[in-house]
Amino acid sequence: MKPRIALIAHDKKKDDMIALALEYRDFLAGCTLTATGTTGGRLINELGLEVTRMHSGPLGGDLQIGAHLVNGEIDCVIFLRDPMTPQPHEPDINALVRACDVHNIPCATNVASARLVLTRLSEIA
């Protein structure tokens, strides 16, 4: 089965997400991708990836991804969080990261860890 990966980035991390996705574009093109609204829009428009978009994070997109994860539909989360900017939906962000821990799903919250996860996933996929 194709790896099912969720991609999420806060506003100040979106350029990093695009650069990361470009680096792994060939691998990601063979995965089933889900993203929050704005992140997904950029991945589609700028990299031509096929992405299922949820709502934007502040409107509940993190929670939608969390629900998919709890249902066993997500294998890995790349969540480039912005640790320097308060987010109005902080409880939703914490809920998603907690759901990853509850269900033992890899959750990379910075580019360095995302590279490790994506490299390993591409080796075993």
Ligand X SMILES: O=C(CO)COP(=O)(O)O
What pairs with residue 34 in β-bridges? 6, 52
Q: Which stretch binds ligand X (CB under 6 A): 24-32, 34-42, 43-51, 66-74?
A: 34-42
Question: Taking CB under 6 A as the rule, does residue 75 contact ligand X?
Answer: no
From 11, 16, 62, 92, active-site residue: 62
Distance between alpha carbon 92 and the CA centroid of its chain, in Å?
A: 14
Sort strands 107-108 and 32-35 into parallel, antiparallel or unpaired.
unpaired
Known active-site residue 15: no
Of the candidate residues 3, 37, 66, 106, the single one contacting ligand X (CB under 6 A): 37
Binding-site positions for substrate: 10, 14, 36-39, 56-57, 89
Both tokens of 104, joined, read 């033992």
Considering only 21-29, 53-61, 98-106, 109-117, which stretch makes contact with ligand X by CB under 6 A? Answer: 53-61
User: Quick check: 62 binds ligand X (CB under 6 A)?
Assistant: yes
| Cα 17 to Cα 57: distance, rounded to the nearest angstrom | 15
Look at residues 70, 77, 81, 62 and name the one whose alpha carbon lies nearest to residue 121.
77
| Catalytic residue IDs | 62
